[in-house]
Structure 1
Amino acid sequence: MSFKQYLSPRVYPLLVLGVASGLPLALTGGTFQAWATVAGVSLKQIGFLTLVGIAYTFKFLWAPLIDRYAPPILGRRRGWMVIAQVLLGVALIAMGVLNPVQDLIWLALLATLVAFLSATQDIAFDAYSTEVLDKDERAAGAAIRTLGYRIGMVLSGGFGMVMAERWLGWGGMYMVMGALMFLFAFVSMLSPEPKESQAPRTLQEAFVVPFKDFFSRPEAWAILLLIILYKLGDAFAGALSTTFLIRGAGFSAEIVGWMNKILAVIASILGALFGGALMNKLGLYRSLMLFGILQALSNLAYWLVAVVPQNLPVMALAVGFENICGGMGTAAFVVLVMGLCNVKYTATQFALLTALSSVGRVFLAGPLTPPIVEALGWPSFFLLTVAIALPGLVLLRWHKARIEAIQ
């Protein structure tokens, strides 16, 4: 893969659109945790706040509507992206008006709405990026959108916490993030039009045929299990990572924010670009295996933070290593999902596959992490997350031939 592919007019806009896709996730996840933690909300309540992201798991339920209907302007993909981005801006600004101690229920409801709109944006963006890229641009496109996605998470995560603690307060920071979504809507309007595939002609075709098409494949259920398990260890390690660094390792929210801002951006750039380049050399299967092993090993870095508390270099190593490995693994995962989708039903099938990848994060990692941590302590918990990652790697090896055929 040459550097020229990153400069393709179909590839480089995915960087900014990836930022738009990644920005809301931390605002209903890690940053939301930090806000609640600093405000004094209990660990049990914080654990259940992770359930606000349930929309990411069930987004395949309304993805057929995105496949079937197109807004009156900008087409099926860009039109839905713009609508979701504008509404996200409004909802995030509304969150900034509230307080987690006095208005926790209303904040949770608004965060759930943000997650729903963010999932809708992801449905349209995933279909857009799959359809706008030529096949030989998929590795570059997956890498650059992964880079953008992780930068978006850092902006609303690490940098967002610094903004909240030092300058704007938590509410003001949420309002700034909402204003950014309006800017991203403008970028979506200017992005190139993807190759238009034929839309489903009826609602029945939109809702039934994409699932029938996918589940008629003999390996369908095994592939779905692989998608759930591949990032499960990563999901457990990251479920309460912000709370761990603040409350478990003893760092201030501002220090955690600065570390995430500086190191996470650099590491995300290295991970996404290096991962995209390696995929062309190694192939999809070997990339998934190597990056999956690295994802599991990155959890050991957080174990080290837990046993050597308040050691800034060790924490910096953990944050940097996690972002490099996470960026590489996500880039390979996106290429896998692109290869599994029928282009006629891209939005629905992509939504199904990526939604299932969040099952572990939403239904297992979020609710189960607090009691596991309370029972085992942080060091043993992070060792356990490495073991949780192993079944996904075993299943990946089992499906080697199928994945090489996708490549």
Structure 2
Amino acid sequence: MADGTPVSANPAAVVFAVGGLYVAQSVIGGVTWTGLPAVLRDQGLSLDNVGLLSLIALPWALKFLWAPMVERYRLPPVGRNRSGVIVAVGGIISIAGLIVVGLLGPSPLAPVLACLTIVALAAATVDIACDGYAVESLPRSQHGWANAAQVGGAYLGSAIGGGLFLLLVAGLGWTDAMWAMAALLAVLGLPFLLRSQAAGASEERAHVPSLAAALRRPEIRRGLLAAALYVVAQKTALMMLGPFLVDAGLDLATLGLLNGAGSMVVGLGAALVGGALVRMLGARAVLVIALMLQALALGTFAARDLLFIDLPLPVLLAVAVASSSGIMALGFVALYAQFMHWSDPRQGGVDFTLFQSMDALVSMAGGVAAGFVAEHLGYGVFFAGAGVIALATIPAIAFVTRRTTPDIPATLEPVGESQ
């Protein structure tokens, strides 16, 4: 369609297809940012070196630079949608990269960082196509399902990459565990490839996707600010949770079970609860609630070191699961729902990519800073500071996500108010 949104005749098939890709991307993220930090700390690597893993997020932070080129290739002026081609090539590169990392072993760190950065580059490019395909292929009334697939897929993939992966490392060794993850990526990508081959006719498209078109819209600018604020408050402390629990006496196998069960049960459950709360209370209220809960969880970790409170390990584990899975899912359902509303269906891959790039850029910088602060000032100061940031962000995020009437291009149907 030249001026509107291509709508799929089978929304459930689209949600299932993109859901597999979202799970696959989160498997890679779980291995990189949850599983690998724990493995490296278990081998004695310093926290500031563990923090360097955040640099692998660089392709996710910069993918907005090539998102317009990907979208213009994916949606040519005349012809079929090429989402399947992009997903197939990116998937092959990602699978091959994990196979190589399996051969390299977790150390030395430099070649592993280089290889996983290439995998991240491929996965980030696939994500551009996946997000754009979801936005354009579903009617606006069905966008909530895509958002549920995105958030739910993220936690399922995180459970696999940060939980099952650690169990496999403990039981089978590094190489077999990494190769199992590579095989899983192939399986998860098949539904989308089959769907893209079966659907899609030749179309004419008048709109040319571009960054300039995105940045002219006030919703995009507000969304970028909201992403930066929220990620600083919610994600800064997450990379240090694994090392913190390892230093508290937790072994890798138990940590793997914790991450897996937390993401599978708590994360998915909180995502569903978050979706219901967004419909009842609005996205802004849910974001504020999540920030308050996160500050409380971080304060619990800080109290253990700063106030010398001897918290039992089960209490620490429960709070860790609540923080990394439950509270995160609750808040990001609301944030991603807001991103969906702010995106232009004619270039959904560009608009949503801008939001995710801001997320990745802030996460990367925060991860490096987190490792440095925790290593040199201790866990207590680090978690206390992160909790203060979460509380201080509440007024700003409430202002940025206030209810307004969106500025919609004339050729588009209204996307609905900010919630």
- Superposed pair shares fold, TM > 0.5: yes
**Shift, 1:260, TM fit:** 1.4
Larger mean CA deviation between 218-227 and 55-64 belongs to 218-227
Q: 2:106 matched to 1:100?
A: yes
Identity %: 25
CA contact (8 A) 1:146 1:331 kept: yes
Provide the rounded CA distance (Å) in 1 between the counterparts of 2:36 and 2:289.
32
Provide the rounded CA distance (Å) in 2 between the counterparts of 1:310 and 1:80.
49
**Secondary structure class of the residue paired with 1:387:** helix
| CA deviation vs aligned residue, 1:256-280 (integer Å, no higher than 9, x gap) | 1111122331001211111112222
Instruction: Name the aligned partner's letter for residue 351 of structure 2.
Output: Q
**Shift, 1:67, TM fit:** 0.3
**Secondary structure class of the residue paired with 1:11:** helix
CA contact (8 A) 1:97 1:171 kept: yes
Provide the rounded CA distance (Å) in 1 between the counterparts of 2:80 and 2:37.
36
Q: 2:363 matched to 1:361?
A: yes
From the superposition, tell whether residues 257 and 194 of structure 1 become closer, same or farther in structure 2 (CA, over 3 Å): farther
Partner residue of 1:124? 129
**Shift, 1:341, TM fit:** 1.4
Partner residue of 1:349? 351
Gaps of 5+ in 2: 1-10, 406-415
Q: 2:85 matched to 1:86?
A: no
**Shift, 1:313, TM fit:** 3.9
CA contact (8 A) 1:128 1:194 kept: no
CA contact (8 A) 1:341 1:350 kept: yes
**Secondary structure class of the residue paired with 2:149:** helix
Instruction: Name the aligned partner's letter for residue 258 of structure 1.
Output: L
| CA deviation vs aligned residue, 1:88-142 (integer Å, no higher than 9, x gap) | 11110110001333x4221111011111112112212221222232222222331
Provide the rounded CA distance (Å) in 1 between the counterparts of 2:319 and 2:393.
25
CA contact (8 A) 2:75 2:81 kept: yes
From the superposition, tell whether residues 231 and 49 of structure 1 become closer, same or farther in structure 2 (CA, over 3 Å): closer
Alignment of 1:143-162 (within 5 A): 143-162=148-167
Provide the rounded CA distance (Å) in 2 between the counterparts of 1:54 and 1:199.
32
| CA deviation vs aligned residue, 1:50-73 (integer Å, no higher than 9, x gap) | 212211100111111210113999
From the superposition, tell whether residues 367 and 137 of structure 1 become closer, same or farther in structure 2 (CA, over 3 Å): same
Partner residue of 2:292? 293
Q: 2:185 matched to 1:181?
A: yes
Partner residue of 1:271? 270
**Shift, 1:288, TM fit:** 2.9
Provide the rounded CA distance (Å) in 1 between the counterparts of 2:98 and 2:182.
5
From the superposition, tell whether residues 59 and 323 of structure 1 become closer, same or farther in structure 2 (CA, over 3 Å): same
Partner residue of 1:3? none
**Shift, 1:162, TM fit:** 1.1
Provide the rounded CA distance (Å) in 1 between the counterparts of 2:355 and 2:88.
23
Provide the rounded CA distance (Å) in 2 between the counterparts of 1:223 and 1:373.
30
**Shift, 1:220, TM fit:** 5.1
CA contact (8 A) 1:132 1:194 kept: no
Provide the rounded CA distance (Å) in 2 between the counterparts of 1:194 and 1:296.
46
Q: 2:401 matched to 1:397?
A: no
Q: TM-score, normalized by length of structure 2?
A: 0.85
Instruction: Name the aligned partner's letter for residue 112 of structure 2.
Output: L
CA contact (8 A) 1:21 1:118 kept: yes
CA contact (8 A) 1:53 1:115 kept: yes
Provide the rounded CA distance (Å) in 1 between the counterparts of 2:173 and 2:228.
37
CA contact (8 A) 2:227 2:358 kept: yes
Q: What is the RMSD of the two structures over their aligned residues, measured on CA atoms?
A: 2.8
Alignment of 1:243-258 (within 5 A): 243-247=243-247, 249-258=248-257
| CA deviation vs aligned residue, 1:232-261 (integer Å, no higher than 9, x gap) | 1222111222111112x2211111111112
CA contact (8 A) 2:57 2:361 kept: no
CA contact (8 A) 2:246 2:252 kept: yes
**Shift, 1:158, TM fit:** 1.4
Q: TM-score, normalized by length of structure 1?
A: 0.87
Provide the rounded CA distance (Å) in 2 between the counterparts of 1:39 and 1:219.
46
Partner residue of 2:320? 318
CA contact (8 A) 2:167 2:253 kept: yes
From the superposition, tell whether residues 290 and 124 of structure 1 become closer, same or farther in structure 2 (CA, over 3 Å): same
Provide the rounded CA distance (Å) in 1 between the counterparts of 2:299 and 2:136.
38
From the superposition, tell whether residues 301 and 170 of structure 1 become closer, same or farther in structure 2 (CA, over 3 Å): farther
Provide the rounded CA distance (Å) in 1 between the counterparts of 2:224 and 2:298.
24
| CA deviation vs aligned residue, 1:173-209 (integer Å, no higher than 9, x gap) | 11110111111221212336589986577xxx54xxx
Alignment of 1:31-50 (within 5 A): 31-50=35-54
Alignment of 1:174-213 (within 5 A): 174-191=178-195, 193=199, 205-206=208-209, 210-213=210-213
Partner residue of 1:20? 24
CA contact (8 A) 2:67 2:128 kept: yes
Provide the rounded CA distance (Å) in 1 between the counterparts of 2:264 and 2:90.
25
CA contact (8 A) 1:67 1:199 kept: no
CA contact (8 A) 2:165 2:256 kept: yes
Partner residue of 2:383? 382
| CA deviation vs aligned residue, 1:273-292 (integer Å, no higher than 9, x gap) | 11112222222333333334
**Secondary structure class of the residue paired with 2:236:** helix
Q: 2:234 matched to 1:227?
A: no
Provide the rounded CA distance (Å) in 2 between the counterparts of 1:85 and 1:9.
20
Partner residue of 2:413? none
**Shift, 1:330, TM fit:** 1.5
Larger mean CA deviation between 222-231 and 179-188 belongs to 222-231
Partner residue of 2:332? 330
**Secondary structure class of the residue paired with 1:395:** helix
**Shift, 1:343, TM fit:** 1.4
**Shift, 1:80, TM fit:** 1.6
Partner residue of 2:145? 140
Provide the rounded CA distance (Å) in 2 between the counterparts of 1:301 and 1:180.
36
**Secondary structure class of the residue paired with 2:74:** coil
Partner residue of 1:406? 418
CA contact (8 A) 2:87 2:129 kept: yes
Instruction: Name the aligned partner's letter for residue 358 of structure 1.
Output: A
